[in-house]
Amino acid sequence: MTRQTTVISPEALARQRKIMDEIRAHLAQTLDHTPLALVDTFGCQQNVADSQNLMGMLREMGFAFTDDPARADVIVLNTCAVREHAEKRVYGNLGALTHTKKANPAQVICLCGCMAQQSRVAEKVRASYRHVDLVFGPHVLWRFPELLKKVYWEHGRVFSIDDSPGCIAEGLPIVREDRTKAWVSVMYGCNNFCSYCIVPYVRGRERSRDREHILADVTALAAEGYKDITLLGQNVNSYGKDLPGGVDFADLLAALDGVDGDFWLRFMTSHPKDASHKLLDAMARCGKVAEHLHLPFQSGSSRVLRAMNRGYTREEYLALADYARRVMPDLVLTSDVIVGFPGETEAEFEETLSLVKEVEFDALFTFIYSPRPGTPAAELPDPVPRAEKQRWFDELLRVQNDISAQKHAAYVGTAQRVLVDGESGDARWPLSARTAGGRLVHLAGDKSAIGAFRTAQITDSNTWALFGRLTD
């Protein structure tokens, strides 16, 4: 068997590198200052990782970075399409940029990411946001230098949003702003087509990076001293399906667990339909893999799960969560849930509530259903009024907040290994840290601890966080 997905050739990547050199030379000649770029990121960690590559390419083109849109020569909005609210925020930000463009007509404004990949968005930007110079989707991110060159050399607007099953570009330049936490994509795209979700339409088909490239990335990050490495994919459990050799995600985890260094490995997201016992056993066995599982359940009703095209039932989800806790008694289990899917009844919402009470997640990301044009669910009758959905949502939040508070209270009096990751701005607890399970800890202690694994005695807790002091 050979690889079924497209990997961009070294020659094509070398061509982009040559263009980066040309742009750097061009800007050095035409500007009287160091070119400045602003990259604003919306959406999930995949977009954060993509923005790090965009910044890497910008740096190769001679750019330094700024937070001030008025001073930026290039502005890039890397967008998310997962809910309507995400898109509204981007339109708001784009609108505000008419002022900076008016003050500096040479400013180049770019819109990229998942929202930009949709033709309805590109058409709206073409017609109503005329100050936007460059629109491109995730499939051509690796060709950003070529697209930007077109804007500079041809002085016209550039749109590149052709549909594509997607590709893999290895070795793109990267800027990592954080020194302790890093993201490593292991696969891209999604084949699941959950009926509410836009991601498969804008991110293309599932494709896995070669194991050797991932191993090299993690080895390099560990050697540089990164302490918290998250493997990314819309559904990491599909890792390897398009690769020769029959390697799966559990095998990948086992291989990465063998990398030298003191670091936590975590991953997101796992789809319950193919989160296997083999994977959970591998998690339990691998010392570096943090016992933290993000396993979105989306609904507690088997009827709604079927309408969502999720491929598992309530009972199957419960059995999986049960098995995970059996093999990892200290597992931190988190999840995503959608309230108010079209046609969901009050009784079905009650099933979601009862699942939440039964599983007792450590934390829950709760969303009200948002219709995404082009997805099957957006065509379904949706009779429940928004106010009613809001009432359900508030009730769910109340139930989960009580559970989170109880779970956090159980940490009080224990000692936890934590990764100190920054300052908190609160004089009583000047440091912030995370447990292996990703729980936020506000800490008393000295700034010199930032970036290190330490032991914390937990003294207090609330719904959202733990509080404590360093003991080593």
Q: Using CB under 6 A, which residues numbered 103 to 122 contact ligand F3S? A: 114
Residue 196 binds ligand SAH (CB under 6 A): yes
Please say which residue, 323 or 367, places its beta carbon nearer to ligand SAH: 367
181 binds, among ligand SF4, ligand SAH, ligand F3S, none (CB under 5 to 8 A by kind): none
Residue 200 is a binding residue for ligand SF4 (CB under 6 A): yes
**Residues whose CB is less than 8 angstroms from the CB of residue 409 and which lie 6 or more positions away in sequence, other chains included:** 461
Considering the complex, what minimum distance in angstroms separates the CB of residue 138 from ligand F3S? 7
Which of 175, 203, 177, 172 lies closest to 190, judged by CA?
203
Pairing mode, strands 466-470 and 453-461? antiparallel
The CA-CA-CA angle for residues 87, 44, 295, to 5°, reads 120
Provide CB contacts within 8 A for 470, sequence distance 6+: 420, 431, 443, 444, 445, 446, 449, 454, 455, 456
For 191-263, list the strands marked E by DSSP. 207-208, 228-232
Q: Which is nearer to ligand SF4, 129 or 367 (CB)?
A: 367
Residue 236 as a binder of ligand F3S (CB under 6 A): the answer is: no
* Candidates 191-199, 338-346, 441-449, 458-466; binding stretch for ligand SF4 (CB under 6 A): 191-199
What burial class does residue 40 get, using C-beta atoms within 10 Å of its C-beta: 0-12 exposed, 13-18 middle, 19+ buried? middle
Query: Of 44, 94, 184, 282, which one interacts with ligand F3S (CB under 6 A)?
Result: 44
The token pair that represents 381 in the structure block: 């009758």
**Least separation in angstroms between CB 304 and ligand SAH:** 12
- Is the CB of residue 340 less than 8 Å from the CB of residue 384? yes
Q: Which is nearer to ligand F3S, 83 or 310 (CB)?
A: 83
The one among 100, 118, 192, 237 contacting ligand SF4 by CB under 6 A: 192
235 belongs to the binding site for ligand SF4 (CB under 6 A): yes
Closest to ligand F3S by CB, 82 vs 304, is 82
Q: By C-alpha distance, which of 359, 333, 330 is closest to 417?
A: 330
The token pair at 172 is: 């793109």
In the complex with ligand SAH, the residue whose CB is nearer, 23 or 116, is 116
Of 84 and 177, which has the nearer Cβ to ligand SAH? Answer: 84
Q: Are 426 and 280 in contact (CB under 8 A)?
A: no
Binder of residue 200, out of ligand F3S, ligand SAH, ligand SF4, none (CB less than 5 to 8 A by kind): ligand SF4
Among ligand SAH, ligand F3S, ligand SF4, none, what does residue 193 contact (CB within 5–8 Å per kind)? Answer: ligand SF4
Instruction: State the binding string over 62-81 for ligand F3S (x if CB under 6 A, else -).
Output: ------------------xx
Q: Give the integer Cα–Cα distance in Å for 131 and 127.
A: 10
Round to whole Å and give the CA distance between 196 and 376. Answer: 7
- How many chain residues interact with ligand SAH (CB under 6 A)? 17
Residues that bind ligand SAH (CB under 6 A): 82-83, 196-197, 199, 234-235, 269, 271, 296, 298, 336, 338, 367, 369-370, 372
